Amino acid sequence: MLRLRGVSKVYPDGTRAVSDVNLDVEEGEFVVLIGRSGCGKTTTLKLVNRLIEPTSGTIYVKGKDTRTVDPVVLRRSIGYVIQHVGLFPHMNVVDNISVVPRLLGWPKEKREKRAEELLEMVGMEPAQFRHKYPRELSGGQQQRVGVLRALASDPDLILMDEPFGALDPITRELLQDEFKRLQKNLGKTILFVTHDIDEALKLADRIVLMKDGKVHQTGTPDEILRQPADVFVRTFIGPERLVRKPDRVLVEEIMIRTPAVAMADDGLRQGLEIMRQRRTDGLLIVDPEGKLEGYVTVSAVQKNLDVASRLGEVSKPVPVFAIKGESVRDAVTRMVDHRLSYLPVLDAQGVLQGLITRSSLVDVLVEMFWSTNNGEQNGDQPLSLKGGIARNDNDKDDEEERKGDKSRSAGAEEKYSPSHRIIILDHNDDTHSDVHDVDDDARLRHASGQ
């Protein structure tokens, strides 16, 4: 989508604002330029739409050298959002949003329809806001309109120069979440400038840290946090951020990738055998395409051995789930709100991707509070996820002992009693279930009603 090759900007007084910048931005990518004041990030942004002309180097937008395109035509094809909004005070909301479509010759009906569609996307009711003027809007509403103006002509590339910098912290965080959602839904390519490292870590697919007009380090937020290039990067990030917080860890990073699953047409005894092999007290039910349909518990299967033949007959719907790409913080909040200790992770099509349990959350705590290097020096082994449960590598001795045990029958007469840690799906009522990570003693107390 966007390529910069050997791009430099030197002013007549000899000031070198940008020096030999090479950068690729892929289609649909959200790239954030960040650095201290005077590092060249805003100049780099303005070189893309030729608000500033480069001294040397070449910039390509969608494969075309920008020097071969009329600057006005180029700017009208690229969305642009600035910090102080820049709404025209004599124009109402719809007219402000429609500025570029009007310059492109769109008919009035098409412009207004597009403006109303965009207003609805950000929760601004068209009937309430379309005729308002900038002075009648709050700062957050004005900024929303500024973003919508950049989206109005449906450009593939959008440049954003500290768009949320002048807002109060609460409004800024709200708009960050809103815009990230919009970007994911619309698939736009974003080049975004900020001086706020927290904003960069939250929004970016990739961060480009600049220093003295040059690209100093580039990488995903995770790569920047885990592998800062040098003291400058570590200082810029701040030591308190070098250990990731839960809102920067994604559910797919900690989920159990191979949870115990079965299909609705599988038999009840087949389900019991799967649970015995996986040492769990529950199964997630998926269809042939892997889409989540529900769950069953060992107690439900055992109670219905004589009256049902298929797992689908005794399964229940999963009350809540997480979507791949969500943060662990959001997932944990959902688990707490619904009194659950497990959460399936699905993709956008509803296909099961994994399972978060209390055990899998341990990895996040380990990462937050326990340095891997220190752990190795102390002889401690970080917890790992294996076989659908979370356990310490030191459990290998227990595993060897269990291999010598005789296999237990999965018949209806025998109580199912998997060893070591298990996942228990408890029926508290017909609407949801709780999952508890317990050891053998706790499981026995649970089974005996103690």
At 288-312, the pLDDT tens digits run: 989 999 999 888 999 998 889 899 9
Q: What pLDDT is attached to residue 374?
A: 45
CA distance 82 to 75: 14
252-447 has the same fold as 2-246:
no
The residue ranges of every structural domain in the chain are 2-246, 252-447
Question: Rounded to 5 degrees, what angle do the CA atoms 146, 151, 154 make?
Answer: 160
| Domain 2-246 coded CATH 1.10.1760.20 | no
CA distance 111 to 363: 50
The per-residue pLDDT for range 311-347, each reduced to its tens digit, is 999 999 988 999 988 888 888 888 888 888 789 999 9
In CATH, which superfamily holds the domain spanning 252-447?
A: CBS-domain (3.10.580.10)
Q: What pLDDT is attached to residue 373?
A: 43
Query: Among residues of the chain, what percentage have pLDDT more than 70?
Result: 77
252 compared with 25, residue with greater pLDDT: 25
The per-residue pLDDT for range 187-245, each reduced to its tens digit, is 889 999 998 888 898 889 999 999 999 999 999 988 888 888 899 998 998 876 665 55
Q: What pLDDT is attached to residue 402?
A: 39
Q: Which of 16-20, 222-226, 411-415 has the highest mean pLDDT?
A: 16-20
The per-residue pLDDT for range 77-133, each reduced to its tens digit, is 898 888 777 888 899 999 999 988 898 899 999 999 999 888 888 788 888 888 999
CA distance 144 to 138: 10
| Partners of 18 in the β-ladder | 9
85 and 161 Cβ atoms separated by less than 8 Å: no
State pTM to two decimals.
0.56
243 and 68 Cβ atoms separated by less than 8 Å: no
- Average pLDDT for the chain: 78
Cβ-Cβ contacts under 8 Å for 85 (sequence gap 6 or more): 134, 142, 143, 145, 146
